[in-house]
Structure 1
Amino acid sequence: MLSTVVLAIVGVALLGMPHDQEPPAPAPSPTASTNPDPSPAASRHPAGGTTISTASSTASAASTPSVLASALPPHGEGVPGDRAIQRSLEAAWPADLPAADERELLTAGRALLHADATGIGRAKWPTVFPDAGQEVAPAFATARFRIQAAIARRDDSPNKAVVHLVWAGMDRGGTFTDLRITDWHFTRTTSKKGASTWTPQPRT
């Protein structure tokens, strides 16, 4: 009976209270989750039991300056990391060649590196590979050979250029290594008919 009377008095008091004097809502418990999305994909529960909102984590990451945008990926990153290597090369050495020259140099530089590493196609450049007519054991397996990034830039002269290549491959001992670096130097030559081309220089 006493509890019934108390409840009735509290109810009347609340009904008669103006809206601007309503009691404040109770503060949320410090241990309660603040994630509005209850789905399992929206929350992760670390060992400490704290709920972390995926949405808030993404927003925080987006607001952080991208200081690692041009950093090289770690070894073993694979094909997904090649784009970061390409961006790093382009940022370190801004383009300074006509587009047509750059395309010609990149095509030749890639082919030279493939021939040098695998032994296939060396006969095309007898001045670069004096042993092109001989049986040469490939230093790297073609199946695991991959050029990760490449740029062509001037080499201290309008008639000289260098192709910087970053690549990956497995040697004959079975060791796979990426982020290998190779440079090929070229000189612009002009034929008697006036046509110019880029000629690779022998390795020293």
Structure 2
Amino acid sequence: MGIALLGLPRSNGPTAPPASTTAHAATDPSAASPRPDSKAALESASPTTPSVSTPPALKSALPPHGEGTAGDPAVQRSLREAWPADLPAADERELLTAGRALLRADATGIGRAWWPVIFPDSGEGVAPAFATSRFRIQAAIARRDGRPGKAVVHLVWAGTDRGGTFTDLRITDWHFTRTTSKKGASTWTPQPRT
């Protein structure tokens, strides 16, 4: 049985390129140039380059994380620009009211009893797995969801989780279906998450 050791040559830094065999300078290096730390040496060592202007960075449509309530109007504006309105105003108001209440119940546990189909076995006072403090809805829109009688509420929100981590610009979508009661009243019903 034997042991083989592989060794690499030791180096104290980068190796210098081999000297040219065709040209040799016969000068005294101590008198050839000024000290490298002098101003004249630095100016002569740094080549002058024409100034190049760089294009300004594109400004984000969204505020920076942690902006607080001051950034919420920009978030709302960004949502509206991304998805132009396509529902009657009354439907949008109804959907936004329901979507905000659902999100609040989902994130904080408050109001879950109002939505027994969405939050089964979670009566009032039962905390959700993800309980949020400092909860705030930053922006919300309601739009059609592809087929007739379908809608989605897009919500952007902020909150602190149980571990103490604050996060904003969280996104939640709630889907709704238009239902009609036996008396002919039409309303939007939230769909359970699958």
Offset of residue 193 of structure 1:
1.2
Counterpart in the other structure of 2:166: 176
Say which SS state the counterpart of residue 76 (structure 2) adopts.
Answer: helix
Counterpart in the other structure of 2:132: 141
Counterpart in the other structure of 1:113: 103
Q: Deviations over 1:105-160 (max 9, x none)?
A: 00000000000000111011110001222753242334x00000000000002200
Say which SS state the counterpart of residue 192 (structure 1) adopts.
Answer: coil
Question: What aligned pairs does 1:1-204 form with structure 2 within 5 A after superposition?
Answer: 68=59, 71-133=61-123, 136-138=126-128, 139-142=130-133, 144-204=134-194
Q: CA RMSD for the aligned pairs?
A: 1.5
How many Å separate the matches in 2 of 1:122 and 1:115? 5
Give the 3 Å change call, closer, same or farther, for CA 173–159 of structure 1 in structure 2: same
Offset of residue 203 of structure 1:
1.0
Q: Which amino acid aligns with 1:140?
A: A
Say which SS state the counterpart of residue 74 (structure 2) adopts.
Answer: helix
Q: Deviations over 1:24-73 (max 9, x none)?
A: xxxxxxxxxxxxxxxxxxxxxxxxxxxxxxxxxxxxxxxxxxx74x7011
Say which SS state the counterpart of residue 145 (structure 1) adopts.
Answer: strand
Aligned length: 136
Say which SS state the counterpart of residue 184 (structure 2) adopts.
Answer: coil
| TM-score computed with the length of structure 1 as normaliser | 0.64
Q: Which moved more, 1:126-135 or 1:178-187?
A: 126-135
Offset of residue 192 of structure 1:
1.1
Q: Which moved more, 1:100-109 or 1:131-140?
A: 131-140
Q: Which amino acid aligns with 2:185?
A: A
Counterpart in the other structure of 1:39: none
Which structure 1 residue ranges, 4+ long, deviate > 4 Å from structure 2?
none
Report percent identity of matched pairs. 83
Give unmatched runs, 5+ long, in structure 1: 1-66
Say which SS state the counterpart of residue 193 (structure 1) adopts.
Answer: coil
Give unmatched runs, 5+ long, in structure 2: 1-57
Say which SS state the counterpart of residue 189 (structure 2) adopts.
Answer: strand
Q: Which amino acid aligns with 1:94?
A: P
Say which SS state the counterpart of residue 156 (structure 1) adopts.
Answer: coil
Contact preservation (8 Å) 1:140, 1:169: no
Larger proportion of helix = 1
Q: Which amino acid aligns with 2:131?
A: F
